């Protein structure tokens, strides 16, 4: 009777350890991912007034006023004004794309949560290769989060610094600032896209689980 009891307790212990191992396969990844999403939610948002087309339209008007005073009748808008307009539009597009990608990341996270729950419930196991991949993904997510934290506030402040400055004499400064903002947004866009790729890869792991071997 004692042997049966000891065997039963040993079996429960083994199953408990196995369950913990299964849970821990994804636990660190999930925590890291959630922290990253929380950080993304706290990032600066470019104010709508700074994305308004009226800012760059004002440059065109200012230029027209200047050439009218000089009695020029036919003169093209300076190339730099066209460049500023293109940069401003690219920022608007990048900003909108980032909003959509971040929302996709949230949806993916919820789908992954369900997949991992199903994985655990079924008693799935990961290969050693997948476990190593998970560790690598965790480190990559941490690196992305640190980069986001480091640049938080920069886009908003740079765009805000241009308020009331959209005049021809400031054209070079405007162009340089918008270029910096666009580079920052493009970097963030790539980072959020990478987060989506990582979530998809881990989702595939959870969906393609193997059941523990039975004797």
Q: Cα(191)–Cα(185) distance, rounded to whole angstroms?
A: 10
* Residue 130 reports pLDDT greater than 60: yes
Instruction: Give SS3 for 86.
Output: helix
6-20, 51-65, 179-193 — most confident range: 179-193
Res 104: pLDDT: 96
Res 67: pLDDT: 36
What is the residue-averaged pLDDT of the chain?
Answer: 79
Res 3: pLDDT: 43
83-92, 138-147, 155-164 — most confident range: 138-147
Query: Cβ neighbours of residue 26 under 8 Å, at least 6 residues apart?
Result: 116, 119, 120, 134, 202, 206
* Residue 5 reports pLDDT greater than 60: no
CA dist list (Å): 134 to 4, 32, 116, 154:
39, 11, 13, 31
Q: Cα(2)–Cα(27) distance, rounded to whole angstroms?
A: 37
Percentage of the residues of the chain whose pLDDT score is greater than 70:
70
* Residue 71 reports pLDDT greater than 50: no
Q: Cα(26)–Cα(5) distance, rounded to whole angstroms?
A: 33
Q: How remote is the C-alpha of 201 from its chain's centroid?
A: 16
Res 159: pLDDT: 87
């Amino acid at each position: 009777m004692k042997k049966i009891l000891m065997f039963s307790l040993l079996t429960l212990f083994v199953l408990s350890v196995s369950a913990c191992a299964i849970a821990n396969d994804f636990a660190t990844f999930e925590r890291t991912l959630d922290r990253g999403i929380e950080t993304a939610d706290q990032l600066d948002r470019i104010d709508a007034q700074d994305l308004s087309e009226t800012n760059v339209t004002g440059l065109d008007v200012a230029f027209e006023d200047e050439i009218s005073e000089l009695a020029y009748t036919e003169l093209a808008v300076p190339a730099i004004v066209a460049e500023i307009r293109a940069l401003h539009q690219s920022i608007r597009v990048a900003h909108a794309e980032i909003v959509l990608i971040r929302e996709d990341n949230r949806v993916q996270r919820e789908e992954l949560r369900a997949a991992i729950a199903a994985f655990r419930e079924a008693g799935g196991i990961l290969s050693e290769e997948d476990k190593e991949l998970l560790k690598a993904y965790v480190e990559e997510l941490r690196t992305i989060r640190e980069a986001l934290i480091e640049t938080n506030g920069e886009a908003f402040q740079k765009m805000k610094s241009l308020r009331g400055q959209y005049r021809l004499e400031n054209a070079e400064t405007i162009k340089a600032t918008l270029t910096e903002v666009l580079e920052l947004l493009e970097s963030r866009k790539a980072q959020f896209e990478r987060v989506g790729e990582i979530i998809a890869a881990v989702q595939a792991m959870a969906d393609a689980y193997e059941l523990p071997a039975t004797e």
